[in-house]
């Protein structure tokens, strides 16, 4: 990234784990001069197109005699970042140098400089990485790279302890369970920027009460306005009884308007669409002139004839104290773990399965105020389709953050009076604890360790029964929920368990066998012939799970 920018180029981050079809669409859209990658990923790209260079096998000089000369100005592009598209095709947002410079220089919402240590944990394909990288490097602060591919609470705890992180960015989807586990995990952190989703006031209040040195900053902003648009420095006296956490006031260089459908200002306290203007605005969408014109409209309040206004699609209201609060969306777009997702793009992917007749995708919140995607599918005739096969199908087209946490097969898709899918009826559909259809039939756990693992999964996921061959992720599990599983089993076994274990052994049987092999020699014979440590009855462990884990997901939804 540094090399591309110093040479005067534009960088476009692509996740190597992104499905091949999605990567191909982005490369086709970009039409790059060169693809910089590593040798292990080079085969993913068509060598008949642009040059593919594996930088990890090249010999570079220790230093260049001087920086490369270029004529780049503030108006030139710095990067293009792809977001979810309502048409089912990702769209690239074109960000200029001026937008990045305005994000991290001349602002007062955060502090940086020598002695500060920023953690770089956001994916480079996510605009939060823009703040992490340039907020540190342009001020002489130290940038610490998160060492693992998957972000986990245990991994965050370890890197904070090891590196003494002072500035950290998290989504509420990770912050909430972290506070539930132990807010002191944040240890040395003095600046915590939260964003991407609405905050839970109670979790913010608990963190502030436990960590007097901590400054929490609620950051809001679309990718189209160079990451952050508004920020709110939460006061230490903030209490969890508040209805919401404001997003604050605009950054220097930005202008905020709350408007009605005809772009007229609403009265104070009334809800309207949040619209943005200023130096942070993107140039537009790459090779999408029509969509650019619809989203970036002429600014009727600007004296500049070329002034533009970006319509965020977010509903907001302006409080008497001058702080802005968000109320939701005016369209079919949601944010999950900070990633902006067009629900239509996900439902389009579900509909591409040859056995699916109708599909709908919704966003739901659990008891900890964490959002996740739920996909409903109606099949053609009486065809058989397992949850795992449908998940594999979607994984070939969608990145991880867009995969629904729950996939539900319904007999009939409810319709409203206009003949459209009745989303309200899906939302109010009675919840169930039925086990979703798996690739294999239900097989009861065979020994005590398998029963204990199955009981913990059932308690955390709200699914019953859980079989020995069931896959954690096919039952609706997510990477964030693995931490709850880890805490529960560590408490029951009385010893630490590596977080990576839960990604390597994803069925009840494989995980139970791995835990048995890792267990201490002090063991008692099991009636089935296996030997496991005597860790108490399933009922006792289940009681520990309920006591230790305050946060519970809603029951898994199923059709019928």
| CA neighbor of 50 nearest in space, from 71, 34, 66 | 34
Cα–Cα distance measured from residue 552 to residue 546, given in angstroms and rounded to the nearest whole number: 9
Residue 255 sits at the vertex; the CA angle it makes with 253 and 258, to the nearest 5 degrees, is 165
Distance CA 120, CA 369 (A): 25
Q: Is the dihedral of CA 430, 431, 433, 436 positive or negative?
A: positive
Q: What is the pLDDT along the chain (560 residues), one digit of tens a residue?
A: 988 999 999 999 999 888 888 888 899 999 999 999 999 999 888 767 788 999 999 887 777 677 778 889 999 999 999 987 666 678 999 999 999 999 999 999 999 999 999 999 998 998 999 999 999 999 999 999 999 888 888 899 999 999 999 999 998 878 888 998 899 999 999 999 999 888 888 889 999 999 999 999 999 999 999 999 999 999 999 988 888 899 999 999 999 999 998 999 998 888 899 999 999 999 999 999 999 999 999 999 998 888 999 999 998 999 989 999 988 788 777 888 778 787 877 887 888 888 887 888 888 876 556 778 888 888 877 667 888 888 889 988 888 888 888 888 877 778 665 556 777 777 765 444 455 666 667 888 998 889 889 888 887 777 778 889 988 877 777 776 777 788 888 877 878 888 778 888 889 999 999 888 877 444 444 444 444 444 444 455 555 545 544 433 332 322 22
CA distance 278 to 128: 19
Axis-axis angle for helices 538-548, 448-461 (nearest 10): 30
User: Under DSSP, is residue 319 helix (H, G, I), strand (E, B) or coil?
Assistant: coil
């Amino acid at each position: 990234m540094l090399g591309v920018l110093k040479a005067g180029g534009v960088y476009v981050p692509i996740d190597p784990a992104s499905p091949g079809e999605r990567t191909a669409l982005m490369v086709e859209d970009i039409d790059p001069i060169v693809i910089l990658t590593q040798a292990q990923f080079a085969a993913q790209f068509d060598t008949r197109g642009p040059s593919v260079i594996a930088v990890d096998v090249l010999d570079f000089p220790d230093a260049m005699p001087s920086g490369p000369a270029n004529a780049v100005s503030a108006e030139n592009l710095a990067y293009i970042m792809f977001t979810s598209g309502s048409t089912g095709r990702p769209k690239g947002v074109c960000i200029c140098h001026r937008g990045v410079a305005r994000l991290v220089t001349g602002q007062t919402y955060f502090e940086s400089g020598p002695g500060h240590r920023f953690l770089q944990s956001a994916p480079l394909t996510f605009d939060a990485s823009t703040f992490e990288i340039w907020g540190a490097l342009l001020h002489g602060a130290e940038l610490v790279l998160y060492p693992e591919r998957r972000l986990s609470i245990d991994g965050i705890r370890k890197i904070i302890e090891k590196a003494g992180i002072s500035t950290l960015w998290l989504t509420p989807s990770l912050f909430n369970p972290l506070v539930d586990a132990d807010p002191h995990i944040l240890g040395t952190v003095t600046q915590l920027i939260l964003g991407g989703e609405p905050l839970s006031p109670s979790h913010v209040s608990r963190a502030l009460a436990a960590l007097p040195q901590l400054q929490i900053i609620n950051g809001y902003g679309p990718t189209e306005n160079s990451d952050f648009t508004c920020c709110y420095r939460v006061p230490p006296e903030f209490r969890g009884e508040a209805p919401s956490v404001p997003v604050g006031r605009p950054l220097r260089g930005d202008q905020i308007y709350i408007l009605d459908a005809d772009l007229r200002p609403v009265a104070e306290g009334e809800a309207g669409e949040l619209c943005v203007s200023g130096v942070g605005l993107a140039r537009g969408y790459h090779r999408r002139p029509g969509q650019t014109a619809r989203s970036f409209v002429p600014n009727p309040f600007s004296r500049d004839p070329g002034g533009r206004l970006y319509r965020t699609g977010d509903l907001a209201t302006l409080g008497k104290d001058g702080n802005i609060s968000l109320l939701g969306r005016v369209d079919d777009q949601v944010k999950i773990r900070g990633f902006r997702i067009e629900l239509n793009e996900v439902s389009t992917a579900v509909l591409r399965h040859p056995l699916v007749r109708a599909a709908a995708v919704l966003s739901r919140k659990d008891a900890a105020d964490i959002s996740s995607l739920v996909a409903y599918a109606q099949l053609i005739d009486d065809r058989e389709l397992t949850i795992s096969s449908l998940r594999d199908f979607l994984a070939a087209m969608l990145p991880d953050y867009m995969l629904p946490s729950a996939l539900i097969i319904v007999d009939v898709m409810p319709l409203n009076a206009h003949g459209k899918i009745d989303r309200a009826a899906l939302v109010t559909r009675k919840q169930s604890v039925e086990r979703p259809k798996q690739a294999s039939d239900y097989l009861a756990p065979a020994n005590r360790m398998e029963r204990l693992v199955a009981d913990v999964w059932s308690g955390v996921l709200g699914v019953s029964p859980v079989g020995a061959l069931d896959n954690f992720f096919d039952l609706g599990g997510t990477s964030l929920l693995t931490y709850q599983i880890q805490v529960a089993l560590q408490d029951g076994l009385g010893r630490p368990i590596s977080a990576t274990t839960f990604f390597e052994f994803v069925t009840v049987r494989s995980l139970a066998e791995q835990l048995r092999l890792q267990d201490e020699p002090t063991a008692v014979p099991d009636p089935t012939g296996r030997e496991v440590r005597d860790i108490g009855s399933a009922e006792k462990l289940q009681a520990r799970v309920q006591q230790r884990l305050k946060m519970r997901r809603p029951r898994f939804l199923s059709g019928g």
